[in-house]
Amino acid sequence: MKASELRIGNLVKDQSDKNRVWSVVGISNITIDVRDLGGTSEHPQLCEFIQAIPLTEEWLLKFGFKNVEGWGFEIPITEHGGDGACVIALYHGQYYIIPADGPTIGHWINAPIQYIHQLQNLYLALTGEELEIK
């Protein structure tokens, strides 16, 4: 994985233990410093051994997304302290940004999200806040 794709706080895994989730705590061109979610272990790992975590329904629910029957998953977002200014809606690996006053005014953004770190980075860019496990 390329270090340039990540930022501190992104969730990743490494090839040696695919069931263990790590949080990025430091980034260089060669290594990524990671800490397990329990905060009990921290170590540097070569970039080539870090893997992205596929985005799944289970992860979306952990982040607080709601399953909307026949549509996909959505989570309301606020823009810098606003009150539900729009919704991120994920459907078949692509996302919409929809104004709170209705999906008919929504704007399709053609940028597939396949991995957790991509969703975390998008959420931060749109809201200025971290996407956290609920």
What is the domain partition of the chain in residue ranges?
Answer: 3-52, 57-127
The pLDDT assigned to 71 comes to: 72
The pLDDT assigned to 103 comes to: 53
What kind and span of H or E run contains 58?
helix 57-62
The pLDDT assigned to 102 comes to: 58
The pLDDT assigned to 24 comes to: 94
The pLDDT assigned to 37 comes to: 86
Residues of the chain with pLDDT under 70: 78-85, 99-111
How many contiguous H segments (helices) and E segments (strands) does the chain have?
2, 10
Among the listed residues 18, 63, 64, 20, the one whose alpha carbon sits nearest the alpha carbon of residue 41: 20
State pTM to two decimals.
Answer: 0.83
**CATH (residue range 3-52):** 2.30.30
**What phi and psi, each to the nearest 5 degrees, are found at residue 56?**
-125, 170
